[in-house]
Amino acid sequence: FDPSKALILSGDPRGGSTWLAELVSGLQGTAMLWEPLDIVNVSQFRALGFAWRQYIPESGDWPEAQDLFESLFRGQLLNGHIGLRTSASHVKRAEQLFVKFCRANQLLPWLVRQFGFTRPPIYLVRHPCAVIASQMKQGGWDHVPSRFEIPDCRYEQFYREYEDYLLGINTVEQRLAAHWCLCNGVPLKHKDNDRSWITMTYESLLTDADSELARIERRWNVAFPKEVRASVGVASRSTLESSPVAKGRQTEQLGLWRQRLSDDQIQNILSVLDYFEIDLYTDDFLPTRTFD
């Protein structure tokens, strides 16, 4: 495959990216590669020294990382994990690769500069209170300590710049909020936000999926099959059974985090957003602006 023609989706863990990925993968001739930055299941990124939320500056020079991503976008980096939602025969027959990430937000400017994608990546962002409430409910973050740990990785200055503040964090929700802010702050504050990539909020996708899919169609010059548009109200495989989305009550999902988080937890999360000067979300359910 031509790396520049790869289709990219990036979002947060529990941020709705699986749902959108299942829709996008319905494009004809597309094979989906699954979460290559899972460093437990993809040894090549682990061997390169990647942290779970590895940062590379937009102008960063890391030839080994560039080569590894090029192998990925060529379809030459495959294993059982990356191929979880496809098959070898499907990849062989595909016309294009669709790569779904949930920990690449902070890499988007660098990836765009390195590969000059013919179709801009999709960047999906969701209210941090909703993301964190879902992470804490799902159970995959039960092991997370309340203290922030600066990762020992290349370009760790990304974290060190805020070291005094980060090391003062003492709750799980603040730690998770700091990761959200660090990673989402890179694309949200970039001068080419929603130009070099398609910025889409989960809230807009949830309340007006047809319009958001139309945005992708315009920017990518593609057309979603009728069956994809007919399935926009169907929950993804990763949706918890207790979620309103799983029961067909999509709009209830917007305010669910208020039921799952205490007032103190909400204020702790929003205080981290204030520190990092991210104003896309407040204590309201909806973002402060939309993208088109």
Q: What is the pLDDT of residues 47-58, one digit of tens each?
A: 999 999 999 999
Tell me the pTM.
0.93
DSSP, collapsed to helix, strand or coil, labels residue 279 as coil
Percent of the chain with pLDDT over 70: 93
Q: What is the pLDDT of residue 281?
A: 98
Q: What is the pLDDT of residues 168-195, one digit of tens each?
A: 999 999 999 999 999 999 999 999 999 9
- The C-alpha atoms of residue 202 and residue 16 are separated, in whole angstroms, by 7
Note the Cα 191 to chain centre separation in Å: 19
Ranges 110-114, 141-145, 210-214: which has the least confidence: 141-145
Q: What is the pLDDT of residue 142?
A: 78
Higher pLDDT, 215 or 87: 215
pLDDT at 139 over 90: no
Under 8 Å CB-to-CB from 177, ≥6 apart: which residues?
Answer: 128, 132, 268, 269, 272, 273
pLDDT at 140 over 90: no
Q: What is the pLDDT of residues 247-272, one digit of tens each?
A: 556 677 898 999 999 999 999 999 99
Q: What is the pLDDT of residue 250?
A: 65
Beta strands in the chain (DSSP E): 7-10, 30-34, 96-101, 122-125, 198-201
Q: What is the pLDDT of residue 35?
A: 97
Q: What is the pLDDT of residue 77?
A: 96
Highest-pLDDT range among 95-104, 132-141, 229-238:
95-104
Mean pLDDT of the chain: 93
Q: What is the pLDDT of residue 211?
A: 94
Contact of 70 with 3, CB cutoff 8 Å: yes
Q: Which of 188, 211, 189, 9 is nearest to 97 (CA)?
A: 9
Angle at 176 between CA 34 and CA 72, to 5 degrees: 20
